Amino acid sequence: MSEDYEDLHQCALSEDLESELVQSQRECVFMWTNMSGEAFGVVMSYLPKDGNLWLTAAEHRARISAIRRFPRGSVCISSAGTRMGPNKTVSYKGTCAVLSDRATKDWFYPEFSRYLMGDGPRAQAFQEYLDSQGRVIIRFEPDYSLSFDGDLLWDRSPEVLDL
């Protein structure tokens, strides 16, 4: 083999592809640390806005108390299921804030609903469903990223492509 397949530094997404991935996907894996110090994650829908990722959950979810205890988290976004095809990912580490103020809910619920469902009655119904007393919003502010573009790995693999 002519390439070092353990060193993937040259296989990062370009800024444009990273932005396209974040804007075209609708789900991520959101991860936090529980009371025992163990990492845990769930698939969640998100809204990208102003360099942050915005998510929502019921106040009683374990991730909310965990974020309040230790406001660091991470997010992984995959291109699987998007028009970009497979083999592209970006992972972020960052700081989380749990928000429940009316001003945030007033802009977030409509934008989030449209982002996930487009315009129309389904988005309106989803917005109304979300706007409940027991729901909070998570602002995830990334401060570190690591990405991977599987197409670049294949581009570095002429012996595989010649098969």
pLDDT at 2: 45
Q: Does domain 9-152 have CATH number 3.30.70.580?
A: no
pLDDT value for 11: 79
Strand partners, 97: 139
Distances (CA, A) of 19 to 6, 54, 77, 147: 25, 15, 11, 11
What does the pLDDT read at residue 12?
Answer: 87
Say which residue, 158 or 63, is predicted with more confidence: 63
Each domain of the chain, given as residue ranges in start order, spans 9-152
Residue with the bigger pLDDT between 97 and 162: it is 97
150 SS3 class: helix
Give burial (CB, 10 Å; 0-12/13-18/19+) of 118.
exposed
In this prediction, residue 137 carries a pLDDT of: 98
Query: How many whole angstroms separate alpha carbon 62 and alpha carbon 59?
Result: 8
pLDDT digits (tens, 9 = 90+) for 25-57: 999 999 999 999 999 999 999 999 999 999 999
The region of weakest confidence among 4-13, 42-51, 125-134 is 4-13
Phi, psi dihedrals of residue 34, rounded to the nearest 5°: -85, 180
Residue that the structure tokens 């573009």 belong to: 149
